[in-house]
Amino acid sequence: MADPLPLAHAGHYIWTLYIPPVAIVVFSIVKTTISERRKAREEEEARKGGAGKGKRG
């Protein structure tokens, strides 16, 4: 017969199951914030690039 899984102390770590919802929300916020800032930076650079071409013309 296979040895049973050592789950006698698994209850001590039950608190970890309460973390994922918080972690998912925080991760989503960080990811959204980074992508929004990258988008804003790209738009700013595109605007500056467009203004520079206009001056040279």
Partner 1 sequence: MSFDLLPFAHALVARQDLPIPAWLFAWGASIVLIVSFYALSVGWREPRLEQDTWRPLGGEGLSRVLLGRPAQALYGLIGIFLLGVAVYSGLRGTEAPDRNFALTFIFVTAWLGFPLFGILLGDLFRALSPWRAAGRAVGWCFQRIARQPPAHLSYPEALGRWPAAAGLVAFVWLEIVYGSSGGITVGISPHTTAVAVLVYTGYTLAMMALFGVERWCATGETFSVYFGMFATLGPLEARDGRLGRRRPLTAATRWATVPGSVAVVIASIGTTSFDGGQEGVLKNAIESTFERLSDTSLSLTWALRLTDTIYLLLVIAGVAAVYLVGVQGMRTIRNAPPARELRRAFAHTLIPIAFAYLVAHYFSLFVYQEQAQFTYLLSDPLGTTTTDLFGTASGTVNYGVISANAIWYVQVGALVVGHVTGLVLAHDRATALWKDYRQASRSQYWMLAVMVAFTCFGLYLLSQANQ
Q: What is the binding site for partner 1 (CB under 8 A)?
A: 14-15, 17-22, 25-26, 29, 32-33, 36
Nearer Cβ to partner 1 (25/46): 25
3-class SS string, 1-57: CCCCCCCCCHHHHHHHHHCHHHHHHHHHHHHHHHHHHHHHHHHHHHHHHHHHHHHHC
CB of 33 to partner 1, least distance (A): 7
Nearer to partner 1, 36 or 44 (CB): 36
* Least distance CB 55 / partner 1 (angstroms): 28
Amino acid at 19: I
